[in-house]
Amino acid sequence: MTICYLALGSNLGDRVDLLKKAVQLLSEEEKINVLAQSNIYETEPYGDVPQDNYLNAVVKIETTLAPIELLDTTQKIELELGRERLIRWGPRTIDIDLILMDGVTYQDERLTIPHIEVAKRSFVLIPLKDVYEKTALFGKNIEQLISETGNQDEVWKSRESW
């Protein structure tokens, strides 16, 4: 079994319900075991597309799936929850990104592990810190990485919960 970390985000529809449904669908997958969920955070949108704020979280799982199989599974769940890929960094019902897979580096045209943007995104790093057992990532303390993003003030703990 491999430990993986998935970043979840939603800013269309019932955002909390969509996050909960995504976790439920992940847990129903035979080769996935959901181990932990971060707090839910509210986040200003990333990129230049005008849109509503996101709710973000990170889920820690263990799986026997290969990287591409896990990507296919998360994309199937996104489709099931109404995800449409219309605008890059645009609004979405649900987004599930594979950000880390312990001991795995991987790259092809569809997937890069670790996620190429993880160290730049406080909306991923802050919830990751809730469920990540190590104190360092990419050779740096997670708090230092969060500080270096320069956008940590755009993320705050939501009143919403699981």
Q: How far apart are CA 6 and CA 128, in angstroms?
A: 9
Residue of 140, 139, 129 lying closest to 99 (CA atoms): 129
Q: How far apart are CA 42 and CA 106, in angstroms?
A: 30
Q: Which of 17, 52, 95, 130 is catalytic?
A: 95
15 catalytic residue (yes or no): no
Q: Which of 48, 83, 108, 153 is catalytic?
A: 83
Q: Residues with Cβ < 8 Å from 111, sequence gap 6 or more?
A: 67, 68, 71, 98
Q: Which of 15, 92, 108, 153 is catalytic?
A: 92
95 catalytic residue (yes or no): yes
Q: Which of 15, 88, 97, 110 is catalytic?
A: 97
130 catalytic residue (yes or no): no
83 catalytic residue (yes or no): yes
Helix H segments across the chain? 15-28, 67-80, 122-131, 142-149
Active-site annotation, residues: 83, 92, 95, 97
